[in-house]
Protein backbone atom coordinates (compact mmCIF):
# COMPACT_ATOMS: atom_id res chain seq x y z
CA UNK A 1 0.00 0.00 0.00
CA UNK A 2 1.18 3.48 -0.85
CA UNK A 3 2.23 5.64 1.98
CA UNK A 4 0.12 8.76 2.49
CA UNK A 5 1.89 12.08 2.61
CA UNK A 6 0.03 15.12 3.92
CA UNK A 7 0.39 18.40 2.05
CA UNK A 8 -1.09 21.80 2.57
CA UNK A 9 -2.09 23.43 -0.72
CA UNK A 10 -3.75 26.78 -1.35
CA UNK A 11 -6.53 27.68 -3.76
CA UNK A 12 -5.74 31.18 -4.95
CA UNK A 13 -7.30 33.58 -7.42
CA UNK A 14 -9.43 36.66 -7.91
CA UNK A 15 -12.84 36.72 -6.21
CA UNK A 16 -15.53 34.85 -8.09
CA UNK A 17 -13.04 32.89 -10.23
CA UNK A 18 -14.64 29.65 -9.08
CA UNK A 19 -12.31 28.33 -6.37
CA UNK A 20 -15.04 27.25 -3.98
CA UNK A 21 -17.17 25.83 -6.81
CA UNK A 22 -14.25 23.76 -8.11
CA UNK A 23 -13.80 21.76 -4.93
CA UNK A 24 -17.39 21.66 -3.72
CA UNK A 25 -18.29 18.25 -5.10
CA UNK A 26 -14.80 16.89 -4.91
CA UNK A 27 -13.55 17.12 -1.31
CA UNK A 28 -14.30 15.91 2.20
CA UNK A 29 -15.88 18.83 4.00
CA UNK A 30 -16.84 19.55 7.62
CA UNK A 31 -17.42 23.27 7.93
CA UNK A 32 -19.79 25.77 6.36
CA UNK A 33 -18.66 28.05 3.55
CA UNK A 34 -19.46 30.95 5.90
CA UNK A 35 -15.94 30.60 7.26
CA UNK A 36 -14.56 31.87 3.95
CA UNK A 37 -16.36 35.16 4.40
CA UNK A 38 -15.78 35.49 8.13
CA UNK A 39 -12.17 34.45 8.62
CA UNK A 40 -11.20 34.38 4.94
CA UNK A 41 -10.46 30.68 4.60
CA UNK A 42 -11.89 27.18 4.86
CA UNK A 43 -9.91 23.97 5.03
CA UNK A 44 -11.13 20.81 3.28
CA UNK A 45 -9.49 17.48 2.60
CA UNK A 46 -8.88 15.35 -0.48
CA UNK A 47 -7.05 12.06 -0.54
CA UNK A 48 -5.85 11.62 -4.12
CA UNK A 49 -5.56 8.27 -5.86
CA UNK A 50 -2.03 6.80 -5.64
CA UNK A 51 0.35 8.07 -8.29
CA UNK A 52 3.14 6.05 -9.81
CA UNK A 53 6.34 7.69 -10.78
CA UNK A 54 9.62 5.99 -11.60
CA UNK A 55 8.41 2.73 -10.03
CA UNK A 56 7.43 4.55 -6.87
CA UNK A 57 3.87 4.63 -5.62
CA UNK A 58 2.93 7.78 -3.79
CA UNK A 59 -0.35 8.94 -2.32
CA UNK A 60 -1.16 12.46 -1.19
CA UNK A 61 -3.65 13.81 1.28
CA UNK A 62 -4.23 17.39 0.25
CA UNK A 63 -5.38 19.75 2.95
CA UNK A 64 -6.93 22.37 0.70
CA UNK A 65 -7.05 25.93 2.01
CA UNK A 66 -9.76 27.71 0.02
CA UNK A 67 -8.81 31.34 0.56
CA UNK A 68 -11.16 34.25 -0.14
CA UNK A 69 -10.24 35.89 -3.43
CA UNK A 70 -8.66 39.27 -3.82
CA UNK A 71 -10.36 42.15 -5.56
CA UNK A 72 -8.72 44.19 -8.28
CA UNK A 73 -5.30 42.89 -7.46
CA UNK A 74 -5.44 43.79 -3.78
CA UNK A 75 -3.77 40.80 -2.21
CA UNK A 76 -4.89 39.83 1.28
CA UNK A 77 -4.80 36.87 3.66
CA UNK A 78 -1.15 36.10 2.92
CA UNK A 79 -0.81 34.72 6.44
CA UNK A 80 -2.81 31.72 5.24
CA UNK A 81 -0.18 30.95 2.61
CA UNK A 82 2.38 29.87 5.19
CA UNK A 83 3.64 26.32 4.97
CA UNK A 84 1.94 25.54 1.66
CA UNK A 85 3.57 22.89 -0.53
CA UNK A 86 1.79 24.12 -3.62
CA UNK A 87 -1.13 26.04 -5.02
CA UNK A 88 -3.84 25.84 -7.60
CA UNK A 89 -4.15 29.25 -9.20
CA UNK A 90 -7.68 29.80 -10.50
CA UNK A 91 -8.39 32.39 -13.18
CA UNK A 92 -11.74 33.34 -14.65
CA UNK A 93 -11.74 32.86 -18.45
CA UNK A 94 -14.69 35.28 -18.68
CA UNK A 95 -12.51 38.09 -17.29
CA UNK A 96 -9.15 38.03 -19.15
CA UNK A 97 -8.51 41.49 -17.72
CA UNK A 98 -7.85 39.92 -14.33
CA UNK A 99 -4.97 37.78 -15.70
CA UNK A 100 -2.40 40.44 -14.82
CA UNK A 101 -3.60 40.53 -11.21
CA UNK A 102 -3.21 36.75 -11.15
CA UNK A 103 0.40 37.12 -12.30
CA UNK A 104 1.32 39.36 -9.40
CA UNK A 105 -0.50 37.01 -7.03
CA UNK A 106 1.59 34.09 -8.31
CA UNK A 107 4.83 36.03 -7.91
CA UNK A 108 4.04 36.96 -4.34
CA UNK A 109 3.03 33.40 -3.45
CA UNK A 110 6.19 31.89 -4.95
CA UNK A 111 8.40 34.38 -3.15
CA UNK A 112 6.73 33.80 0.21
CA UNK A 113 6.91 30.02 0.10
CA UNK A 114 10.28 29.24 -1.48
CA UNK A 115 8.98 28.47 -5.00
CA UNK A 116 6.64 25.53 -4.47
CA UNK A 117 4.96 23.91 -7.49
CA UNK A 118 1.81 25.54 -8.83
CA UNK A 119 -0.81 24.75 -11.47
CA UNK A 120 -2.72 27.48 -13.30
CA UNK A 121 -6.30 26.77 -14.31
CA UNK A 122 -8.55 28.78 -16.59
CA UNK A 123 -12.01 28.13 -15.20
CA UNK A 124 -15.55 28.43 -16.63
CA UNK A 125 -14.73 26.91 -20.04
CA UNK A 126 -18.40 26.03 -20.35
CA UNK A 127 -19.16 29.75 -20.75
CA UNK A 128 -16.57 30.44 -23.47
CA UNK A 129 -17.49 30.16 -27.16
CA UNK A 130 -15.23 27.75 -29.03
CA UNK A 131 -13.98 30.55 -31.28
CA UNK A 132 -12.48 32.42 -28.33
CA UNK A 133 -11.14 29.42 -26.45
CA UNK A 134 -7.98 29.04 -28.51
CA UNK A 135 -6.64 32.53 -27.98
CA UNK A 136 -7.47 32.41 -24.26
CA UNK A 137 -5.61 29.14 -23.93
CA UNK A 138 -2.60 30.65 -25.67
CA UNK A 139 -2.54 33.53 -23.21
CA UNK A 140 -2.75 31.10 -20.32
CA UNK A 141 0.01 28.89 -21.70
CA UNK A 142 2.25 31.93 -21.99
CA UNK A 143 1.65 32.70 -18.35
CA UNK A 144 2.35 29.07 -17.45
CA UNK A 145 5.56 29.22 -19.45
CA UNK A 146 6.72 32.25 -17.44
CA UNK A 147 6.32 30.36 -14.20
CA UNK A 148 7.33 26.97 -15.64
CA UNK A 149 4.16 25.26 -14.54
CA UNK A 150 1.25 23.45 -16.20
CA UNK A 151 -1.96 25.21 -17.25
CA UNK A 152 -5.35 23.53 -17.67
CA UNK A 153 -8.82 24.57 -18.76
CA UNK A 154 -11.52 23.60 -16.29
CA UNK A 155 -15.21 23.92 -15.63
CA UNK A 156 -16.42 23.75 -12.07
CA UNK A 157 -19.90 23.45 -13.49
CA UNK A 158 -19.34 20.29 -15.53
CA UNK A 159 -16.42 19.03 -13.45
CA UNK A 160 -14.21 18.99 -16.51
CA UNK A 161 -10.49 18.65 -15.66
CA UNK A 162 -11.06 19.52 -11.98
CA UNK A 163 -9.61 16.36 -10.48
CA UNK A 164 -6.92 16.33 -13.17
CA UNK A 165 -5.70 19.73 -12.01
CA UNK A 166 -5.09 18.46 -8.50
CA UNK A 167 -3.39 15.32 -9.83
CA UNK A 168 -1.10 17.47 -11.96
CA UNK A 169 -0.18 19.44 -8.87
CA UNK A 170 0.59 16.23 -7.01
CA UNK A 171 2.77 15.06 -9.90
CA UNK A 172 4.70 18.33 -9.81
CA UNK A 173 5.31 17.77 -6.11
CA UNK A 174 6.91 14.41 -6.81
CA UNK A 175 9.47 15.84 -9.20
CA UNK B 1 -56.20 145.98 47.07
CA UNK B 2 -53.53 143.47 47.77
CA UNK B 3 -55.93 141.54 49.86
CA UNK B 4 -58.19 141.43 46.92
CA UNK B 5 -55.43 140.26 44.69
CA UNK B 6 -54.63 137.53 47.18
CA UNK B 7 -58.16 136.49 47.23
CA UNK B 8 -58.21 136.39 43.50
CA UNK B 9 -55.01 134.36 43.50
CA UNK B 10 -56.39 131.93 46.00
CA UNK B 11 -59.51 131.48 44.12
CA UNK B 12 -57.47 131.10 40.96
CA UNK B 13 -55.28 128.38 42.48
CA UNK B 14 -58.27 126.63 43.89
CA UNK B 15 -60.02 126.82 40.62
CA UNK B 16 -56.97 125.46 38.81
CA UNK B 17 -56.71 122.59 41.22
CA UNK B 18 -60.36 121.97 40.90
CA UNK B 19 -60.08 122.07 37.16
CA UNK B 20 -57.08 119.74 37.27
CA UNK B 21 -58.91 117.39 39.54
CA UNK B 22 -61.87 117.56 37.32
CA UNK B 23 -59.95 116.95 34.10
CA UNK B 24 -57.14 114.60 35.18
CA UNK B 25 -58.47 112.63 38.13
CA UNK B 26 -58.63 109.36 36.13
CA UNK B 27 -55.18 109.85 34.63
CA UNK B 28 -53.86 110.75 38.00
CA UNK B 29 -55.07 107.53 39.44
CA UNK B 30 -53.58 105.61 36.54
CA UNK B 31 -50.32 107.44 36.91
CA UNK B 32 -49.92 106.64 40.56
CA UNK B 33 -50.80 103.03 39.85
CA UNK B 34 -48.16 102.92 37.10
CA UNK B 35 -45.64 104.53 39.38
CA UNK B 36 -46.31 101.92 42.03
CA UNK B 37 -45.93 99.16 39.46
CA UNK B 38 -42.65 100.57 38.09
CA UNK B 39 -41.30 100.89 41.58
CA UNK B 40 -42.17 97.33 42.49
CA UNK B 41 -40.82 96.06 39.14
CA UNK B 42 -37.58 97.91 39.70
CA UNK B 43 -37.37 96.32 43.10
CA UNK B 44 -38.11 92.86 41.69
CA UNK B 45 -35.53 93.16 38.91
CA UNK B 46 -32.87 94.26 41.36
CA UNK B 47 -33.83 91.56 43.85
CA UNK B 48 -32.40 88.33 42.41
CA UNK B 49 -34.61 86.03 44.42
CA UNK B 50 -37.76 87.74 43.37
CA UNK B 51 -36.66 87.80 39.72
CA UNK B 52 -36.05 84.07 39.76
CA UNK B 53 -39.41 83.45 41.34
CA UNK B 54 -41.01 85.49 38.62
CA UNK B 55 -39.22 83.97 35.63
CA UNK B 56 -39.16 80.41 36.90
CA UNK B 57 -42.51 79.24 35.52
CA UNK B 58 -41.92 80.93 32.16
CA UNK B 59 -38.48 79.46 31.63
CA UNK B 60 -39.68 76.08 32.72
CA UNK B 61 -42.46 76.23 30.15
CA UNK B 62 -40.11 77.47 27.48
CA UNK B 63 -37.57 74.70 28.14
CA UNK B 64 -40.31 72.15 28.16
CA UNK B 65 -41.53 73.28 24.77
CA UNK B 66 -38.01 73.53 23.33
CA UNK B 67 -37.10 70.07 24.49
CA UNK B 68 -40.23 68.65 22.96
CA UNK B 69 -39.54 70.39 19.69
CA UNK B 70 -35.93 69.36 19.27
CA UNK B 71 -34.96 66.72 21.73
CA UNK B 72 -31.78 65.57 20.02
CA UNK B 73 -30.44 69.08 19.54
CA UNK B 74 -30.93 69.80 23.21
CA UNK B 75 -29.20 66.61 24.18
CA UNK B 76 -26.31 67.46 21.92
CA UNK B 77 -26.04 70.92 23.39
CA UNK B 78 -26.29 69.77 26.99
CA UNK B 79 -24.15 66.65 26.81
CA UNK B 80 -20.73 68.33 27.08
CA UNK B 81 -21.87 70.57 29.90
CA UNK B 82 -23.45 67.72 31.81
CA UNK B 83 -20.40 65.55 31.20
CA UNK B 84 -18.11 68.22 32.59
CA UNK B 85 -20.37 68.87 35.51
CA UNK B 86 -20.56 65.20 36.44
CA UNK B 87 -16.82 64.84 36.04
CA UNK B 88 -16.23 67.78 38.33
CA UNK B 89 -18.72 66.45 40.83
CA UNK B 90 -16.94 63.13 40.92
CA UNK B 91 -13.54 64.83 41.25
CA UNK B 92 -14.83 66.96 44.10
CA UNK B 93 -16.57 64.21 45.95
CA UNK B 94 -14.96 60.91 45.14
CA UNK B 95 -15.63 59.45 48.52
CA UNK B 96 -19.27 60.46 48.38
CA UNK B 97 -19.68 58.89 44.96
CA UNK B 98 -18.13 55.63 46.13
CA UNK B 99 -20.40 55.62 49.14
CA UNK B 100 -23.40 56.24 46.95
CA UNK B 101 -22.57 53.65 44.31
CA UNK B 102 -21.20 50.94 46.57
CA UNK B 103 -24.49 49.39 47.59
CA UNK B 104 -25.80 49.35 44.00
CA UNK B 105 -22.69 47.84 42.43
CA UNK B 106 -22.27 45.45 45.31
CA UNK B 107 -25.79 44.19 44.75
CA UNK B 108 -25.17 43.81 41.02
CA UNK B 109 -22.02 41.78 41.53
CA UNK B 110 -23.66 39.57 44.12
CA UNK B 111 -26.54 38.92 41.74
CA UNK B 112 -24.22 38.02 38.86
CA UNK B 113 -22.22 35.64 41.02
CA UNK B 114 -25.35 34.06 42.40
CA UNK B 115 -26.67 33.47 38.91
CA UNK B 116 -23.38 31.99 37.70
CA UNK B 117 -23.21 29.70 40.72
CA UNK B 118 -26.80 28.63 40.20
CA UNK B 119 -26.06 27.73 36.58
CA UNK B 120 -22.94 25.83 37.59
CA UNK B 121 -24.77 23.83 40.24
CA UNK B 122 -27.58 23.07 37.77
CA UNK B 123 -25.03 21.95 35.22
CA UNK B 124 -23.31 19.71 37.75
CA UNK B 125 -26.57 18.21 38.89
CA UNK B 126 -27.47 17.34 35.31
CA UNK B 127 -24.05 15.78 34.81
CA UNK B 128 -24.57 13.69 37.90
CA UNK B 129 -27.81 12.45 36.41
CA UNK B 130 -25.93 11.38 33.30
CA UNK B 131 -23.03 9.71 34.98
CA UNK B 132 -24.89 6.84 36.56
CA UNK B 133 -21.88 4.86 37.69
CA UNK B 134 -20.15 7.68 39.49
CA UNK B 135 -23.41 8.69 41.04
CA UNK B 136 -23.30 6.10 43.77
CA UNK B 137 -19.85 7.22 44.94
CA UNK B 138 -20.95 10.82 44.96
CA UNK B 139 -23.99 9.91 46.98
CA UNK B 140 -21.85 8.05 49.49
CA UNK B 141 -19.36 10.89 49.75
CA UNK B 142 -22.04 13.50 50.14
CA UNK B 143 -23.58 11.46 52.98
CA UNK B 144 -20.24 10.84 54.66
CA UNK B 145 -19.12 14.47 54.48
CA UNK B 146 -22.64 15.89 54.85
CA UNK B 147 -22.35 18.13 51.77
CA UNK B 148 -24.35 18.56 48.58
CA UNK B 149 -23.63 16.10 45.74
CA UNK B 150 -22.65 18.99 43.48
CA UNK B 151 -19.97 20.04 45.93
CA UNK B 152 -18.49 16.56 45.89
CA UNK B 153 -18.27 16.76 42.13
CA UNK B 154 -16.59 20.15 42.32
CA UNK B 155 -14.08 18.90 44.84
CA UNK B 156 -13.27 15.76 42.85
CA UNK B 157 -12.91 17.50 39.52
CA UNK B 158 -15.19 14.85 38.03
CA UNK B 159 -16.37 17.57 35.67
CA UNK B 160 -13.14 17.44 33.72
CA UNK B 161 -12.99 15.22 30.71
CA UNK B 162 -10.08 15.20 28.26
CA UNK B 163 -11.51 14.19 24.90
CA UNK B 164 -8.95 14.78 22.13
CA UNK B 165 -5.35 15.80 21.61
CA UNK B 166 -4.04 17.27 18.35
CA UNK B 167 -0.37 17.76 17.56
CA UNK B 168 -0.22 20.16 14.64
CA UNK B 169 2.60 21.61 12.58
CA UNK B 170 2.44 25.29 13.34
CA UNK B 171 2.73 26.87 9.89
CA UNK B 172 0.90 24.42 7.62
CA UNK B 173 -1.65 23.18 10.13
CA UNK B 174 -0.89 19.60 9.09
CA UNK B 175 -1.70 16.94 11.65
CA UNK B 176 1.33 15.16 13.08
CA UNK B 177 -0.26 13.25 15.92
CA UNK B 178 -3.74 12.58 17.21
CA UNK B 179 -5.30 10.78 20.16
CA UNK B 180 -8.85 10.61 21.37
CA UNK B 181 -10.28 9.26 24.61
CA UNK B 182 -12.35 6.58 22.86
CA UNK B 183 -10.44 5.52 19.75
CA UNK B 184 -13.55 6.01 17.60
CA UNK B 185 -13.80 7.24 14.01
CA UNK B 186 -13.38 10.88 15.03
CA UNK B 187 -9.86 10.58 13.65
CA UNK B 188 -11.51 10.81 10.26
CA UNK B 189 -12.16 14.49 10.94
CA UNK B 190 -8.90 15.19 12.73
CA UNK B 191 -7.00 16.46 9.68
CA UNK B 192 -9.61 19.07 8.83
CA UNK B 193 -10.07 20.03 12.47
CA UNK B 194 -6.32 20.51 12.81
CA UNK B 195 -6.28 22.67 9.71
CA UNK B 196 -9.25 24.79 10.71
CA UNK B 197 -7.90 25.19 14.23
CA UNK B 198 -4.69 26.50 12.69
CA UNK B 199 -6.61 28.87 10.42
CA UNK B 200 -8.63 30.24 13.33
CA UNK B 201 -5.50 30.57 15.45
CA UNK B 202 -3.74 32.48 12.68
CA UNK B 203 -6.82 34.63 12.15
CA UNK B 204 -7.02 35.57 15.82
CA UNK B 205 -3.30 36.21 16.08
CA UNK B 206 -3.41 38.36 12.97
CA UNK B 207 -6.47 40.31 14.02
CA UNK B 208 -5.88 40.83 17.72
CA UNK B 209 -2.34 39.99 18.77
CA UNK B 210 -0.27 43.00 19.76
CA UNK B 211 3.09 41.33 19.34
CA UNK B 212 4.52 38.22 17.71
CA UNK B 213 4.90 36.40 21.01
CA UNK B 214 1.27 36.53 22.09
CA UNK B 215 -0.77 33.47 21.25
CA UNK B 216 -4.30 32.25 21.45
CA UNK B 217 -4.47 30.04 24.53
CA UNK B 218 -8.04 28.90 24.85
CA UNK B 219 -11.17 28.64 22.72
CA UNK B 220 -14.51 28.02 24.43
CA UNK B 221 -17.65 26.78 22.80
CA UNK B 222 -20.63 25.88 24.95
CA UNK B 223 -19.27 23.22 27.29
CA UNK B 224 -16.25 22.39 25.14
CA UNK B 225 -12.86 24.01 25.57
CA UNK B 226 -9.74 23.88 23.47
CA UNK B 227 -6.51 24.59 25.34
CA UNK B 228 -3.61 25.43 23.06
CA UNK B 229 0.07 25.09 23.90
CA UNK B 230 2.46 26.64 21.40
CA UNK B 231 6.07 25.68 20.70
CA UNK B 232 8.51 26.67 17.96
CA UNK B 233 7.37 24.18 15.31
CA UNK B 234 4.20 22.71 16.69
CA UNK B 235 0.96 23.42 18.50
CA UNK B 236 -0.57 20.96 20.93
CA UNK B 237 -4.31 21.41 21.29
CA UNK B 238 -6.39 19.66 23.94
CA UNK B 239 -10.15 19.42 23.62
CA UNK B 240 -11.86 18.91 26.97
CA UNK B 241 -15.08 19.44 28.83
CA UNK B 242 -15.57 20.94 32.25
CA UNK B 243 -13.15 22.64 34.57
CA UNK B 244 -9.52 21.71 34.02
CA UNK B 245 -7.55 20.57 37.09
CA UNK B 246 -4.94 23.00 38.34
CA UNK B 247 -2.03 20.96 37.01
CA UNK B 248 -3.48 20.38 33.56
CA UNK B 249 -1.82 23.34 31.83
CA UNK B 250 1.56 22.32 33.25
CA UNK B 251 1.15 18.69 32.22
CA UNK B 252 0.02 19.65 28.73
CA UNK B 253 2.99 21.95 28.37
CA UNK B 254 5.35 19.30 29.79
CA UNK B 255 4.12 16.70 27.31
CA UNK B 256 4.47 19.12 24.42
CA UNK B 257 7.96 20.09 25.52
CA UNK B 258 9.08 16.44 25.65
CA UNK B 259 7.69 15.67 22.18
CA UNK B 260 9.14 18.85 20.72
CA UNK B 261 12.59 18.11 22.13
CA UNK B 262 12.66 14.51 21.03
CA UNK B 263 11.51 15.24 17.46
CA UNK B 264 13.10 18.65 17.07
CA UNK B 265 15.10 17.90 13.88
CA UNK B 266 12.31 16.02 12.18
CA UNK B 267 9.88 18.81 13.00
CA UNK B 268 12.24 21.39 11.59
CA UNK B 269 12.52 19.47 8.30
CA UNK B 270 8.88 18.38 8.24
CA UNK B 271 7.49 17.89 4.72
CA UNK B 272 4.25 16.13 5.49
CA UNK B 273 5.65 12.67 6.22
CA UNK B 274 3.76 11.70 9.35
CA UNK B 275 5.22 8.21 9.39
CA UNK B 276 8.30 9.67 11.05
CA UNK B 277 6.22 10.55 14.08
CA UNK B 278 4.64 7.22 14.91
CA UNK B 279 6.20 7.31 18.36
CA UNK B 280 4.21 10.39 19.27
CA UNK B 281 0.84 8.73 19.78
CA UNK B 282 1.77 6.49 22.73
CA UNK B 283 3.31 9.50 24.48
CA UNK B 284 0.12 11.49 23.93
CA UNK B 285 -1.93 8.59 25.24
CA UNK B 286 -0.29 8.94 28.61
CA UNK B 287 -2.01 12.24 29.25
CA UNK B 288 -5.37 10.50 28.87
CA UNK B 289 -4.29 7.83 31.34
CA UNK B 290 -3.25 10.48 33.80
CA UNK B 291 -6.67 12.11 33.79
CA UNK B 292 -8.77 8.99 33.34
CA UNK B 293 -10.20 9.15 36.84
CA UNK B 294 -11.32 12.71 36.35
CA UNK B 295 -13.68 11.90 33.49
CA UNK B 296 -17.35 11.48 34.26
CA UNK B 297 -17.87 9.29 31.24
CA UNK B 298 -15.03 6.82 31.33
CA UNK B 299 -16.85 3.54 31.31
N1 LIG C 1 -20.83 28.53 -15.59
C2 LIG C 1 -19.92 28.41 -14.65
N3 LIG C 1 -20.03 29.13 -13.52
C4 LIG C 1 -19.09 29.00 -12.56
C5 LIG C 1 -17.98 28.12 -12.72
N6 LIG C 1 -17.22 28.21 -11.63
C7 LIG C 1 -17.82 29.09 -10.79
N8 LIG C 1 -18.93 29.56 -11.34
C9 LIG C 1 -19.84 30.56 -10.76
O10 LIG C 1 -19.08 31.71 -10.46
C11 LIG C 1 -19.48 32.30 -9.23
C12 LIG C 1 -18.33 32.43 -8.27
O13 LIG C 1 -17.84 31.15 -7.93
P14 LIG C 1 -17.14 30.84 -6.53
O15 LIG C 1 -16.78 29.41 -6.55
O16 LIG C 1 -17.93 31.34 -5.40
O17 LIG C 1 -15.85 31.74 -6.68
P18 LIG C 1 -14.63 31.89 -5.66
O19 LIG C 1 -13.38 31.91 -6.45
O20 LIG C 1 -14.73 30.88 -4.58
O21 LIG C 1 -14.90 33.35 -5.11
P22 LIG C 1 -14.41 34.02 -3.72
O23 LIG C 1 -14.64 33.01 -2.63
O24 LIG C 1 -15.26 35.24 -3.62
O25 LIG C 1 -12.98 34.37 -3.90
C26 LIG C 1 -20.60 31.42 -8.72
O27 LIG C 1 -21.82 31.98 -9.07
C28 LIG C 1 -20.40 30.11 -9.45
O29 LIG C 1 -21.61 29.42 -9.61
C30 LIG C 1 -17.89 27.39 -13.95
O31 LIG C 1 -16.98 26.61 -14.20
N32 LIG C 1 -18.88 27.58 -14.88
MG1 LIG D 1 -14.91 31.08 -2.50
Asked if B173 lies within 8 A of A43 by C-beta distance, the reply is: yes
Query: In angstroms, how far is the first alpha carbon of chain A from the final one?
Result: 21
Instruction: Output the CA B190–ligand 2 centroid distance in Å.
Output: 23
Cα B162 from chain centroid (whole Å): 31
Is B78 part of the contact surface with chain A (CB cutoff 8 Å)? Answer: no
In this prediction, residue A25 carries a pLDDT of 80
Task: Please report which confidence band the pLDDT of residue A91 belongs to, taking 50, 70 and 90 as the band edges.
Answer: very high
Q: Give the pLDDT score at B72.
A: 76
Q: Tell me whether B297 touches chain A (CB under 8 Å).
A: no
- Residue B297's pLDDT band (cuts 50, 70, 90): very low
The stretch A13-18 carries a mean pLDDT of 94
Check: CATH 3.40.50.2300 for A4-174? no
| Each residue's pLDDT tens digit, A2-11 | 678 999 999 9
Q: Mean pLDDT of all residues in chain B?
A: 77
Q: Is A47 near ligand 1, meaning CB less than 6 Å away? A: no
For the segment B143-158, the average pLDDT, to the nearest whole number, is: 62
Residue B156 has pLDDT above 80, yes or no: no
**A20 in contact with ligand 1, CB cutoff 6 A:** yes
Of A10, A15, A21, A67, best ligand 1 pocket probe by most atoms within 8 Å of the beta carbon: A21
Highest mean pLDDT among A119-128, B82-91, B146-155, B285-294: A119-128
Q: What's the average model confidence in pLDDT over B120-132?
A: 63
Ranked by mean pLDDT, which of B82-96, B145-159, B160-174 comes out on top?
Answer: B160-174
* Residue A141: band (very low, low, confident or very high) from pLDDT cuts 50, 70, 90: very high
- Give the residue among B130, B131, B156 at the shortest CA–CA distance from B294: B156
A13 lines ligand 1 (CB under 6 A): yes
Chain A nearest-CA residue for B194: A43
Q: CA-CA distance, B172 to A6, in Å (whole number)?
A: 10
Return the residue in A4, A5, A6, A76 with the most chain B beta carbons within 10 A, the one to mutate for interface testing: A6
| Sheet arrangement for strand B218-221 | B175-180, B161-169, B234-241, B224-230, B218-221
ipTM over 0.95 threshold: no
Q: Which of the residue ranges A58-62, A63-67, B136-140, B190-194 would you say has the lowest mean pLDDT?
A: B136-140
Split at pLDDT 50, 70, 90, the class of B150 is low
Q: For helices B280-290 and B248-262, give the axis angle rounded to 10 degrees.
A: 170
Mean pLDDT, to the nearest integer, of B32-41? Answer: 86
- Specify the pLDDT at position A22: 94
Choose the most confident range, by mean pLDDT, from A154-168, B118-132, B215-229.
Answer: A154-168
B287 to chain A, minimum CA–CA distance in Å? 26
Helix (H) or strand (E) holding B17: helix B2-46
- Name the more confident of A90 and B299: A90
Rounded to the nearest angstrom, the distance between the alpha carbon of A34 and the centre of ligand 2 is 10
A52-56, A106-110, A151-155: least confident range: A52-56
Does A124 contact ligand 1 (Cβ within 6 A)?
yes
| pLDDT of B298 over the 50 cut | no
What are the structural domain ranges in chain A?
4-174
Q: Which residue has the higher pLDDT, B299 or B69?
A: B69
Q: Which ligand is nearest to the CA of A70?
A: 1
Q: What is the mean pLDDT of residues B58-74?
A: 79
Residue B177 has pLDDT above 80, yes or no: yes
Residue nearest to atom 11 of ligand 1 (CA): A16
> How high does pLDDT run on average in chain A?
92
**Is B94 an interface residue toward A (CB < 8 Å)?**
no
Q: What is the pLDDT of residues B239-267, one digit of tens each?
A: 998 888 888 999 999 999 999 999 999 99
Q: How confident is the model at residue B8 (pLDDT cuts 50, 70, 90)?
A: low
Contact A6 B191 (CB under 8 A): yes
Q: Is the per-residue pLDDT at B31 higher than 90?
A: no
Q: Which helix (H) or strand (E) holds A151?
A: strand A151-153
Using the atom order of ligand 1, give the atom closest to the CA of residue A90.
19
- Percent of chain B with pLDDT strictly greater than 90: 22
Question: B171 and B251 in contact (C-beta within 8 Å)?
Answer: no
- Asked if B195's CB is within 8 angstroms of A79's CB, the reply is no
CB nearest A7 (choices: B189, B200, B272)? B272
Q: CA gyration radius for chain B?
A: 44
Which residues, other chains included, contact A51 with Cβ-Cβ below 8 Å and sequence gap of 6+? A57, A58, A59, A60, A167, A170, A171, A174
Beta strands, E only, chain B: 161-169, 175-180, 218-221, 224-230, 234-241
- d(C-alpha A77, C-alpha B162), whole Å: 33
More confidently predicted of B87 and A105? A105
Instruction: Please name the residues between 205 and 224 in chain B that touch chain A, using a CB distance below 8 Å.
Output: 206
Please tell me if the CB atom of residue A69 comes closer than 6 angstroms to any atom of ligand 1: yes
Q: Could you tell me if B82 lies within 8 Å of chain A, comparing CB atoms?
A: no
Q: What one-character-per-residue DSSP string does A81-124 give?
A: GTT-SEEEEEEETT-GGGHHHHHHHHHHHHHHTTS--EEEEEE-
Amino acid sequence: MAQIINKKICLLGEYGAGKTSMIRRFVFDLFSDDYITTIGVKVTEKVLPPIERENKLQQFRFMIWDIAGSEEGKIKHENYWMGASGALIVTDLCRPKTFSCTSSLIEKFLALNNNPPIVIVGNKTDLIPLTELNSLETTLQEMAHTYRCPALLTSAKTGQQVEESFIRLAQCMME
Amino acid sequence: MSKNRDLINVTNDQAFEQLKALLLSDDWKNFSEIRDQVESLAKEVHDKDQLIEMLDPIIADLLDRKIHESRSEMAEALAPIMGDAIKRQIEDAKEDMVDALYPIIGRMVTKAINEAMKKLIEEINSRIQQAANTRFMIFVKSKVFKIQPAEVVLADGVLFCLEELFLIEKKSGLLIGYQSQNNDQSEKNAHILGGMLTAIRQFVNDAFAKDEKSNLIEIQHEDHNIRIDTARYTVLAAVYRGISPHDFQDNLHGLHHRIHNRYYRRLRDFKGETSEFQGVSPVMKRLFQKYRHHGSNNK
